[in-house]
Amino acid sequence: MRARLALWSAGITVELREVKLANKPAEMLEISPKGTVPVLQNPDGTLLEQSEDIMRWALGRNDPEGWLEGDNRSLIERNDGPFKHHLDRYKYATRYQDDEGHGEVDHRNKGYETLQDLDARLSGQPQLCGPTRTIADMAIFPFIRQFANTDRAWFDTLELPHLQRWLAGHLESDIFKAIIRKFAPWNPGDEAIIFGSEQTS
């Protein structure tokens, strides 16, 4: 999702191939044996296999909103490291049974600690790094969305007014509504789907 956000903002069009991870196409595994998404293959064959790398690649070519001006690598690293660790074990609790001796609630509570820190950060400013959205906001909010949607009724009861306002704003944004549309999983021979703010078919 966050790779799509950056590509859309940068105005870069790509041929999109939606992948169902339970049925990975052989063509994908041939170019990226690690088998995770997203993967961006350039015309010269070079690969980007991490969503943050794709974001930085796209914004390095065109950054009309100045997302890179509000870069905060430590915030993103905390999100992609400790927070995602606990998010995965909260969201997919059945996959991580007996993991580290902690249960679903333990990981949920650890994730909540990060949410409290973000809420405090947002208490004095609209976005994580100031008045406007930046790469930090766009790299982090998709994961906060996942955490919230794991048990939305519980999340909505939390005393996180600033974070909840921030999340709601991103979910209602035009760019999120543009990139969140679903596509059918790709199969060899399918008509190409051109994805980007200039053209999406």
Cis status, amide bond into 43, omega within 30 of 0:
no
Q: What is the pLDDT of residue 22?
A: 86
Tokens of 21: 């991870």
**DSSP 8-state class, residue 194:** E
With cut-offs at 50, 70 and 90, classify the pLDDT of residue 150: very high
With cut-offs at 50, 70 and 90, classify the pLDDT of residue 178: very high
Q: What is the pLDDT of residue 21?
A: 85
Please identify, in words, the CATH class of the domain defined by 2-66+179-195: alpha beta
Whether the predicted pLDDT of 26 surpasses 50: yes
Of 129, 111, 112, 120, nearest in space to 163 by CA: 120
Give CA–CA dist 96/105, Å, rounded. Answer: 12
Tokens of 181: 């549309």
Q: What is the pLDDT of residue 98?
A: 59
Average pLDDT over residues 111-125: 97
Whether the predicted pLDDT of 107 surpasses 60: yes
Average pLDDT over residues 141-163: 97
Q: What is the pLDDT of residue 95?
A: 77
37: buried, middle or exposed (CB in 10 Å: 19+, 13-18, 0-12)?
A: middle
20 vs 119, residue with greater confidence: 119
Whether the predicted pLDDT of 181 surpasses 70: yes
Per-domain residue ranges for the chain?
2-66+179-195, 67-176
Strand partners, 16: 193
pLDDT digits (tens, 9 = 90+) for 52-66: 999 999 999 999 999
Whether the predicted pLDDT of 143 surpasses 60: yes
Of 50, 122, 109, 120, nearest in space to 83 by CA: 109
Q: What is the pLDDT of residue 198?
A: 67
Q: What is the pLDDT of residue 201?
A: 40
Q: What is the pLDDT of residue 96?
A: 72
User: Tell me, what amino acid is at 201?
Assistant: S
Q: What is the mean pLDDT of the chain?
A: 92
Which phi and psi (to 5°) does residue 13 adopt? -95, 145
Please identify, in words, the CATH class of the domain defined by 67-176: mainly alpha
Residue 171's CB: how many other CB atoms inside 10 A? 14
Q: What is the pLDDT of residue 200?
A: 45
The count of C-alpha atoms lying within 13 angstroms of the C-alpha of 20, restricted to the half-sphere facing its C-beta, is 8
Whether the predicted pLDDT of 19 surpasses 70: yes
